[in-house]
Chain A
Amino acid sequence: MQRSDLSREDATEVTPSPELDATIVRRLGDMGVSRRQFMASLTRMASLLALPPSMLPQLAMAATSPTKPSVVYMSFQECTGCLESMVNSFAFKGGGTIENLLLNVVSIDYQETLMAAAGAQAEHQLASSTAKSGYVLVVDGSIPASANSGYFVSGGRSGAERFRSAAANAGLIVAVGTCASFGGLPKADPNPTGAVSIKDMMASLGIAKPLINVSGCPPIPEVITGTILLYLASGMPALDTLLRPKTFYGRTVHSHCYREESFEDGPRVKAFDDAASRKGGCLFDMGCKGPVTKAACSSIKWNQGLSFPIQSGHPCMGCTEPNFWDRVNKGGKKGFYVPLAGSYDD
């Protein structure tokens, strides 16, 4: 079996079509989705999430719940790339698409880039959404450690204070993107604004809440929505030591890369657009960080499975890993085109 075909490989282990109860079927009808359509796409989603078939009705229930779980999405030192990515989500039609997320699956009660309300009305919306407990707090961007620095102020409140009050009643915090997960670009040397990750901000504020890191610059669309659906369907997913869902971050880009064979046997790319690059040769010598990067890029791929950076000829930059902007490589040098130190032979 081909290694690049992972999602299909997993799909064969899922037996489709457990029964959905009449309530769910009726709610699907209200959403304009047929039972068959829904189950087919749900099965695909479950295969991405590596869920057992018995979980499908729970996922269906989560996706059609009469009271939608509340999501409060707050942005700090970020570039909006994570939200742009989430908007591209197409986990399954009627399920993980952004249209359906907005309308049916969750209630996104606060998200500054998309919400209708502005200014005082937006602040009121934030206050009322975070007054109830149990919502999922999604955060993108790092936060300046010092509240008084002025490096992040919104609505007259510092990043730290805005985060503290929004986190107070949250049931779960999801740090989306590498900036929120690990500090990311703002924290890159010399970290001019004293930026910290959500985990570190929680520690300094004494907030003890469940946290999931969904790293990536940005993360794959389906990994963002899939993590949220996974949590809604089956509670806290298994996490790695960096608090990322193992389902999506359990393997390196290298281990499932379709170019892995040419890492072993050649030909390797020596310059962009050389003969080896047109054949799909390994990009290790061009600085590929795939061997040290845990991500689903080489299995789920991007934008409905179309491609991923290596397939489009560029080495993996390692963007799901902490401090990837400052990784020191061969010869003690930083850089995305500097090969990794070490050999990484299997």
Chain B
Amino acid sequence: MTIANIIIDPVTRIEGHLRIQAYADPDGHGGGTISKPALSSSTMVRGIERILQGRDPRDAWSFTQRICGVCTVVHGLTSVRAVENAINVKVPKNADYIRNMMIGGQFVHDHVMHFYHLHALDWVDIVSALSADPTATATLAKKNNPNYKPNNGLLPDAAYFQAQINKLKTGLVNRGQLGLFANGYWGHVAYKLTPEQNLLLTSHYLEALGWAREIVKLHTVFGGKDPHPSLVVGGMPCTLSANTGAVSEDNGGTSLNTAGLAAVKAALDRMKSFVDQVYLPDVLLVARGYKNWADFGATAGNFLSYGEFPDPALVRTEMVDGAIDYPAGYLFPQGVIWANDLKRLMPFDQAKVTENVAHAWYGGSTAALHPSVSTTTLQYTGPQPDQPDYMLDEADRYSWIKSPRYDGKPMEVGPLAHILTMYARNTLATDRLVRKYVDTYWCGTAANGGLALPFAKLNSTLGRIFSRMLETKIIADQMAGRAAISNWSIPAYAGWYPLFYANRSGKYFNPKAFTVLASPSTLPDKVGFGFTEAPRGALGHWIKINRTTGMIDHYQCVVASQWNAGPRDGAGAPGPYEQSLVGHKLAALDKPLEVLRTIHSFDPCIGCAVHVLDPEGQPLVTVDVSHLGRLV
């Protein structure tokens, strides 16, 4: 057992409950260097898959949606897709347009909020911002964000930034109540930005809260509320309004009326402009100040993506029952990259996915098993809480997260995997666009606004932050539409919203879904599989429906943060979080800011990562891989 000298518990500014233990060789001056893999532990469990047993498959999405209120759309939708796969029902075109926009909207919302509200305080010193020169900050704003005009439609001037300082001072400092900003690592030597840069980014932190509140309206129109918007097996529950005016008792109608659709359009335009004007230049601003963070945080270089955003342009034909079928064609590819080798995007084979519980608090076999046959029961064997010296041991079981592996290897999933698989595929216009953006912003010269970093260093803490921003830009443009970029030979793209709008009077729901489920004896004998690429990466749900009762026999999720945050496997190989911390140099072991920077760069979502299998462990018969068979 390694006696950790760095313990972060709770890890804050994440979703869920996470503990990190690490050991650093002391440097004799209070700091040190992490010389071996750390320990990542999730410390909360709810047992949602167990709760799903015996329930109506149509309800499953609402249960799995509550796995995470941050990833609210994707867990619901993955379940819906799993059931649709299990019953062989396809959905109408409009449903996929809307689902694309709902997932896309979640990406943009999550990634921007992650950068400003969860991650920024690792790079931005709020206390330093208070001593900024407002005039110099206005000059910086004009240079960094020349098109962003939050000051009543004008560029922010010195008075604007003075008011921001006053707001922070009167709101927090003068009252001696720092609230959420209390007790940060302010003044830590690892903070490198100027006071003016800190003030600009703090200002955007506050403004992004107001922005986020507006853009979730996309989910509200299509799903009735946010978080946890409504979905349905077989399509979307929302439908075009027969009444274009105000919805009321007298007029009737639905949220998809003139006003609701205008709100969606406005939300998409707001997403695009904020990403272009604020998020993208701000990530580059932070990156320029912390270029050395391209030297830290690498994982083993194995990346996995299930594929996401079926491309409506590639729809074959709308089928007779009002549903459609997609050939291969996902904005984010489906595929695997081994050992940073981008020359080959290997096909994904879901049969190679396994999980094991050698270091997780579950009973049963510790062998690596496919998700459709793995069996587990809650079995806490960790130290008793509420005692002094609570410490986890990497040689023992130490987490509620299991260890997913692909072909026996730990894989990194998420934004970096998305960007690298697009880069490797290089067939769609968006793939070529990714190459251009990486060449320009990551590898390009400082004179041209680039970071002048080697391509290979994308596999790093900084590369993860950059990739998250880049995929946000790709998605925001894909939703609202993108003009041609002639000097890069990139054609224009109409955008999911305009394509949906042109088709808005079409179908939204395939009624076959509910009628098939009402006759369970006619269901195919198979395990349904649904996948999404969530903002944090590869997400899959498996479902087996009982052909007598029509209820759920078995439900299983393997989720993004599980891949990244999982513990060591049976062979002792550490998970990506654990591996990524090796080599980190800390200035002060009691203020492990550097560790947080890399852990936060993965955007941990721990509520997602913990779940329970079917305790009966019924072996499952066949896994339908029809979605997975169609590789690019």
Contacts and interface: CB of A to CB of B under 8 A. Distances in A.
Nearest to B168: A103
Given A152-B44, A272-B237, A280-B254, 18 more contacts: A4-B247, A5-B248, A79-B15, A79-B69, A79-B607, A103-B179, A112-B13, A113-B118, A116-B184, A121-B184, A147-B385, A149-B380, A185-B48, A272-B234, A272-B508, A279-B243, A307-B224, A310-B224
Q: How large is the interface on A (under 10, 10 to 19, 20 to 34, 35 or more residues)?
A: 35 or more
Contacts of B185: 116, 121
Contacts of B381: 150
A313 to B, nearest CB: 4
Interface in A71-102: 75-85, 87-90, 97-99, 102
A156 B179 contact: no
Interface string A278-315: 11110000000000000001000011101111111110
Given A193-B46, A260-B249, A336-B59, A152 B10 contact: no
B210 interface: yes
Contact of A306 (B66, B68, B217, B592): B217
Interface stretch (B170-178, B330-338, B453-461): B170-178
Contacts of A207: none
B430 interface: no
A66 B210 CA distance: 24
Nearest to A119: B8
B56 interface: yes
A231 interface: no
B223 interface: yes
A120 interface: yes
Interface of A: 2-5, 27, 30-32, 66-68, 70, 75-85, 87-90, 97-99, 102-104, 106-109, 111-125, 147-158, 161, 185-186, 188-193, 195, 217-218, 220, 258-262, 271-273, 277-281, 297, 302-304, 306-314, 317, 325, 333-338
A113 to B, nearest CB: 7
B10 A155 contact: yes
B612 A192 contact: yes
A115 B9 contact: no
B584 interface: no
A265 B387 CA distance: 64
Given A107-B177, A116-B121, A117-B182, A88 B239 contact: no
B274 to A, nearest CB: 16
A313 B69 contact: no
13 contacts: A79-B66, A90-B213, A103-B179, A113-B13, A115-B181, A116-B182, A117-B182, A119-B10, A122-B12, A152-B17, A156-B387, A312-B238, A336-B59
A113 B15 contact: yes
Contact of B254 (A84, A123, A313, A325): A313
A152 B422 CA distance: 39
Contact of B385 (A79, A98, A158): A158
Contacts of A2: 248-250
A119 B14 contact: no
Contacts of B210: 97, 99
A160 to B, nearest CB: 8
A280 B242 contact: yes
Contacts of A87: 209, 212-213
B239 A278 contact: yes
B509 A272 contact: yes
Interface in B4-58: 7-17, 19, 43-48, 50-51, 55-56, 58
Interface string B292-306: 000000000000000
Given A154-B43, A259-B252, A88 B237 contact: no
